[in-house]
Structure 1
Amino acid sequence: MTKRKIVFILLPQVELLDLAGPAQVFTEARSQGLAADVIFCGFHQPVNSAAGLALAPALHYNDVSLDTSDIIFLPGIHAETLSREPAAEKAFLEWLRSQAGKGVLICSVCNAAFVLAEAGLLDQRECTTHWRSVKMLQQLYPAVKVLTDVLFVKSERIYTSAGVSSGIDLALFVLEEWKGALFAHQVARGLVVYHRRNAGHSQQSIYLAYRNHIRAEIHRVQDYMIEHLSTDCDLDTLADVAAMSPRNLARVFKTQTGITVHQYLTALRMEKAHTLRKDPAHTMAYIASQCGFTSARQLQRILLP
């Protein structure tokens, strides 16, 4: 099986957390079985980071061959560098445009959105950047639709994030789209972070809510429910997963999470239903079947009280 490539572009004066955060998400995902290669590229040797640490990318960006299954991440750069030289070299911008033309998924962290804007990839698109740079981005590139107070923005195959730690949220969101909510949640747990989704969702993710406990058997039950939403998930089945009696599971689950098993399961089903509704190809009957509701009518009653 061909591995998907995740390419990080190391621009001059790259911010270390903008780079290390998303890179660690995919590194952790690989340790959990993700079939992907994480590659670091640039066009200067070495790359001096904003913190003063010199980095030596193994490849020039022209040395990688990408297709529509691959991902490019552009970490942000130091703000003073941005004010002096908002764009990268012209050859790189041409390369970036060519990758976008092939359908490669392109993600920017923080003020790397300026590089995408200079390449013309954000014209007439909604996007975001670090809150300190929002006004500057809009002034320099009036064709860009800059959103404020959002963690990240998805616009077809171009994703932009607000800055610093939101690059981790964006990487987890990309991973969730690729491998599903449970896998992204497991990676987030491995990194001991709480991930959020997009501007259309609450900043609190139901997949990580009610998980700030250390009872492994309750985590197993919660994971099982996420994976089996289309099934009954009755208390007897969940008790077998936890190796507890049904009565004890109900008691311990409420003690550890603060809500009942039924309340948690309903919240998971509602979250998935809202997500599936965003695809116009999905009928209410299909959504109901995927989320464990008895019928489309039941789901409609819940969604439209």
Structure 2
Amino acid sequence: MKKIAFIIPPAVELLDLAGPMQVFSEASFYGFEVQLEFYSIQPDTASSVGLPFGKLQPYSKAALQAGDFIIIPGVRFESLKVLISWEKAFFHWLRDTAQRGINICSICNAAFFLGEAGLLNNRECTTHWRRVDALQKQYPKARVLNDVLFVKTDSIYTSAGISAGIDLALSILEELTDPLFVNKVARGLVVYYRRSHQHTQQNIYLDYRNHINPKVHQVQDYLVEQLASELSLEKLANLVNTSPRNLSRIFKEATGITIGDYLTKLRIEKAKTLKNNPDYTIEYIAAACGFKSPRQLQRILKSTD
């Protein structure tokens, strides 16, 4: 089971903490096995707006193994300079932890903590757009990027400010699961699943999902799960209690493509995945993906190569 330890600094920004935390909590609801733990840098920690936290174990008590994650949310910027001056032991601990193969993640201006620990040297990274220049100036060996949501370099992850921590957490979750599962989590959180240019290419299970129309999402989910079934526009329309004409209209408005085009893309994606298994015949793959014949599948795959 993966362990994700949130290290909560004084004057923490609540959304920096709550956003990523909720991603993994939602993933747990859908069956992902993860253990969330919470530690503090200083005793008697309170948020940037004064909300106090209960008694937390100090960060030094975190029992982490290679492959686990540490996530450090950002803080009120006025507190950052003081923390950097006082918490030298914490930065030594961060550096030692990274050397043990544990993934270190910063949200917003917590990138300064990573910089102080020497973890940004010769690495691409990012932070809140207001602090990009300051981060680069303070840690000149870092390669600070602007206009990206998050960056992964080796086992070091950094994100832009506030809600970008959700995007980073979803990206980490995809590394640990798969795109279809992450789409389910993102929908549960009612957020769009966005990616930076540092991340992998979009996947059909995530493409055309940047909308909040529940009927269209329901149809998309059904298509993913029922590719081998007999599908018709009338059947899909009945599924969401609307007319075929209205479903075609709202699907195109929400996704930008027709239901037929979306279905074809899904079938091609699944066929390419199944082709990686040498035990599957072309006849089996065609049937499993809903193609009329192996010849049709071969023709379509050839046209997409």
Find the residue that maps to 1:139 and give its secondary structure: helix
Q: Are the equivalent residues in 1 in contact too, given 2:167–2:193 (CA < 8 A)?
A: yes
Find the residue that maps to 2:197 and give its secondary structure: coil
Q: Are the equivalent residues in 2 in contact too, given 1:128–1:160 (CA < 8 A)?
A: yes
Offset at 1:17?
0.9
Find the residue that maps to 2:21 and give its secondary structure: helix
The 5 Å alignment of 1:153-302 reads: 153-200=151-198, 206=207, 208-209=209-210, 211-215=211-215, 218-226=216-224, 233=227, 236-237=230-231, 242=236, 244=238, 251=245, 253-258=247-252, 259-265=257-263, 286=276, 294=297, 302=304
1:107 aligns with 2:105: yes
Tell me the distance in 2 between the aligned counterparts of 1:135 and 1:185.
Answer: 34
Letter in 1 for 2:146: T
- In structure 1, runs of 5+ residues without a counterpart are 277-281
Look up the match of 2:25.
Answer: 27
Offset at 1:98?
2.0
Offset at 1:15?
0.8
Look up the match of 1:145.
Answer: 143
Over 3 Å counting, the alpha-carbon distance change for 1:164 and 1:88 in structure 2 is farther
Taking only aligned residues, the RMSD between alpha carbons, in angstroms, comes to 3.6
Aligned length: 281
Q: Are the equivalent residues in 1 in contact too, given 2:43–2:56 (CA < 8 A)?
A: no
Find the residue that maps to 1:94 and give its secondary structure: helix
Tell me the distance in 2 between the aligned counterparts of 1:225 and 1:11.
Answer: 45
Q: 1:15 aligns with which of 2, 13, 16?
A: 13
Tell me the distance in 2 between the aligned counterparts of 1:87 and 1:239.
Answer: 64
Over 3 Å counting, the alpha-carbon distance change for 1:242 and 1:301 in structure 2 is closer
Q: Are the equivalent residues in 1 in contact too, given 2:132–2:146 (CA < 8 A)?
A: yes
Q: Are the equivalent residues in 1 in contact too, given 2:45–2:52 (CA < 8 A)?
A: yes
Letter in 1 for 2:191: V
Q: Are the equivalent residues in 1 in contact too, given 2:237–2:244 (CA < 8 A)?
A: no
Which deviates the most, 26-35 or 11-20?
Answer: 26-35
Q: Are the equivalent residues in 1 in contact too, given 2:251–2:259 (CA < 8 A)?
A: no
Offset at 1:138?
0.4
1:91 aligns with 2:85: no
Look up the match of 1:6.
Answer: 4
Q: Are the equivalent residues in 2 in contact too, given 1:106–1:158 (CA < 8 A)?
A: yes
Q: 1:52 aligns with which of 41, 45, 50?
A: 50
Find the residue that maps to 1:100 and give its secondary structure: helix
Over 3 Å counting, the alpha-carbon distance change for 1:5 and 1:227 in structure 2 is farther
TM-score (norm 1): 0.78
Find the residue that maps to 2:4 and give its secondary structure: strand
Offset at 1:26?
1.2
Q: Are the equivalent residues in 2 in contact too, given 1:206–1:271 (CA < 8 A)?
A: no
Find the residue that maps to 2:37 and give its secondary structure: strand
Over 3 Å counting, the alpha-carbon distance change for 1:194 and 1:7 in structure 2 is same
Tell me the distance in 1 between the aligned counterparts of 2:9 and 2:231.
Answer: 52
Tell me the distance in 1 between the aligned counterparts of 2:270 and 2:104.
Answer: 26
Find the residue that maps to 2:84 and give its secondary structure: coil
Offset at 1:37?
1.4
Q: Are the equivalent residues in 1 in contact too, given 2:237–2:247 (CA < 8 A)?
A: no
Superposed CA offset, 1:38-78 (max 9, x none): 11101322112111111235322122211123111110011
Letter in 2 for 1:56: G
Tell me the distance in 1 between the aligned counterparts of 2:133 and 2:244.
Answer: 51
Look up the match of 1:81.
Answer: 79
Tell me the distance in 1 between the aligned counterparts of 2:80 and 2:236.
Answer: 53
Offset at 1:31?
1.9
Percent sequence identity over aligned pairs: 45
Over 3 Å counting, the alpha-carbon distance change for 1:268 and 1:169 in structure 2 is farther
Letter in 1 for 2:230: D
Tell me the distance in 1 between the aligned counterparts of 2:113 and 2:26.
Answer: 27
Tell me the distance in 2 between the aligned counterparts of 1:105 and 1:238.
Answer: 47
TM-score (norm 2): 0.78
- In structure 2, runs of 5+ residues without a counterpart are 278-284, 292-296
Tell me the distance in 2 between the aligned counterparts of 1:157 and 1:207.
Answer: 30
Look up the match of 1:279.
Answer: none
Offset at 1:87?
5.7
Letter in 2 for 1:214: P
Which deviates the most, 63-72 or 146-155?
Answer: 63-72
